[in-house]
Chains A and B, each alone.
Chain A
Amino acid sequence: MAVAHGLCSGMGGMRTTGDLVCRMQFAKSMKIADAKKYVADKLEIDPFQLTEENYVRDIREQLGMGVVTGQPNTPKGMPAKMNIEKVLGIEISSCEHFRQQVLRN
């Protein structure tokens, strides 16, 4: 059922920019239109392109924000999230925790 919603109505997560738009809803309580505009402005693309897989995939790779396919030598997980922080101009709690652990000594 959740997958049906994803196919019929979802933005597509890391396949596109759905995770970035969702992160702005969580981080700044932005409504969907505002969150899409914010992410599109940061990526310097038209909001309509946010869900265009082929177009956005290359941008994600260039900016090191993680791609959904198993591409070697491209950031995923924590390094990708640290790049997302820079691109979106936000602080992510799990990244901050990681930085504190690395810099502990």
Chain B
Amino acid sequence: MVVDYVTRMGDGRRVRLTKEQIMSDIVAGMSDGVDAACVPELSQDELDHICEVVCDQSKITSIEAGKEVVLSKDAGAIKFNQDNGGSGNAMPCMGRLEGILVYERAFGFDSMELAWMDYSVKPVKSIINCETANYEQMALMTTIPLIMGAMPNLGLYYAPDGPHPNPTDLMREFKIEESMASSEAAAEQLIKDIHYTCQEIEKVGCEGYNFDTVASAGDAEFYATLKGIEDYRKMNPNAYIECGMSAENVLGIHGQMEYDGKILGGMYPHEQVKVVEKAGANIFGAVVNTNTSKSFAWNVARSAVITKECVKTAKIPVHANMGMGVGGIPMCELPPVDITGRAAKILIDIANIDGI
């Protein structure tokens, strides 16, 4: 008799697969990750362990006691009052201080972040006095590490939102040199904005900064962020700096941006972490994207093999990004709890991640 196991697809749909189908997907997902990131394969024991966790039919699967990891958070407490576009709950009366204290005292979070609703460096710069005044007071009430954070989001520096011509529009017109020049000019402006923001938060004793969703606009954004981290580290040797990526692969929109003599476009997590380390960050947030057409087994095996090499290469702690659509988690508005725990268990057991 063939036994079916309830599992999910990368878009969150429930499916029933046999153990043989699950194992076949695990091997295929791992092989795809090995090909994409040029990393070593997982062992047969590791593949068997992934299969065992995927086939576990408990509603909630969790990590063995003693193997727990710490949590860091993007966007902090604004998830409570945002709409569903930001995976938030749209609670109108939840202030940020209350939200942070709920995370600290009700949800048992290990660290938290003060974030502005418009979660990018450029808009935060214009209201930085409001943010620093708020942080200063919130730091008096909170006990867990409290940092500030935002996305570098270089896209906001290009037309129509910013002063620089859009590099992809220029490329469509075969204006390659102009496109590269525009990326470089926008990156320089972002470096200045990061400098200004970090300079201001330093004045109120801010514990650190989370550079989140890094390189969403490609290699020029990654370059600007690395320079920004380098600059912030010089300002405060004790600052807590986290750098979390936006995708598994840095898009080479410029194509020739370099940091520490390395071309940034095309980098995968195990390469990204080395330049992030060099810039002076304390924690790296590794991303592996979810393929919605493939099963959870396929996606989590792919995530495990790519993340494992990143953790192995890293000298700093690696927190796997495990929100919707990354780290093996399905891309859907309500990531199922049965998958959340399984994905984390696999990345802790196989990839040896230091946090989530």
A residues adjacent to B (C-beta < 8 A): 1-16, 18-19, 21-23, 25-32, 35, 47-48, 51, 65-66, 68, 76-78, 80-81, 84, 91-98, 100
6 residue pairs, one from A and one from B, having the closest CB atoms: A97-B205, A8-B341, A26-B240, A18-B110, A22-B110, A94-B139
Nearest Cβ on chain B to A70's Cβ, whole angstroms: 8
Known: A10-B356, A93-B206, A93-B238. A29 touches B144 (CB 8 A): no
Q: Is the CB of A10 within 8 A of B110?
A: yes
CB neighbours of A97 from chain B (8 A): 136, 139, 204-205
Residues in chain B near residue A23, CB distance under 8 A: 111, 144-145
What secondary structure prevails in chain B residues at the interface with A? loop
Contact residues in A for B104 (Cβ distance below 8 Å):
13-14, 68
Residues of A within 8 A of B344 (CB): 5, 8-9
Name the A residues within 8 Å of B345 (CB-CB). 8-9
Contacts between chains A and B (CB distance < 8 A), count: 184
Contact of B207 with A93 in the complex, beta carbons under 8 Å? yes
In the complex formed, the residue of A with least CB distance to B205 is A97
Query: Are B315's CB and A29's CB within 8 A?
Result: yes
Contact B107 A26 (CB under 8 A): no
Given contacts A2-B109, A26-B111, A78-B139, 7 further A-B contacts (CB under 8 A): A2-B107, A7-B341, A14-B143, A18-B109, A32-B353, A77-B141, A93-B208
B303-317: CB near A (< 8 Å → 1, else 0) gives 000000000000111
CA distance A15 to B110 in the complex (A): 9
Asked whether B238 lies within 8 Å of A27 as measured between CB atoms, the reply is: yes
Q: Evaluate contact between A29 and B143: CB separation under 8 angstroms.
A: no
Please tell me if B79 contacts chain A, counting CB pairs below 8 Å.
yes
Q: A6-B109, A8-B62, A14-B108 are in contact. Are A78 and B140 (CB under 8 A)?
A: yes
Binary flags per residue of B209-239, CB closer than 8 Å to A gives 1, else 0: 0000000000000000000000000001011
The interface size of chain B toward A, counting residues with CB under 8 Å, comes to 61
Binds A, one of B24-32, B66-74, B264-272: B66-74
Judging by beta carbons under 8 Å apart, are A22 and B282 in contact?
no
B→A interface (CB under 8 Å):
60-63, 65-66, 68-73, 79, 87, 104-105, 107-111, 136, 139-147, 204-208, 236, 238-240, 242, 282-283, 315-317, 322-324, 329, 335, 337, 340-341, 344-345, 348, 353-356
* Known contacts A68-B108, A97-B205; is-contact A9 B356 (Cβ 8 Å): yes
**Chain A residues within an 8 Å CB radius of B204:** 97
Known: A11-B70, A12-B68, A47-B66. A29 touches B206 (CB 8 A): no
The complex places the Cα of A4 from the Cα of B329 at a distance, in Å, of: 12
| B69, A9: Cβ atoms closer than 8 Å | yes
- Asked if B70 contacts A93 (CB within 8 A), the reply is no
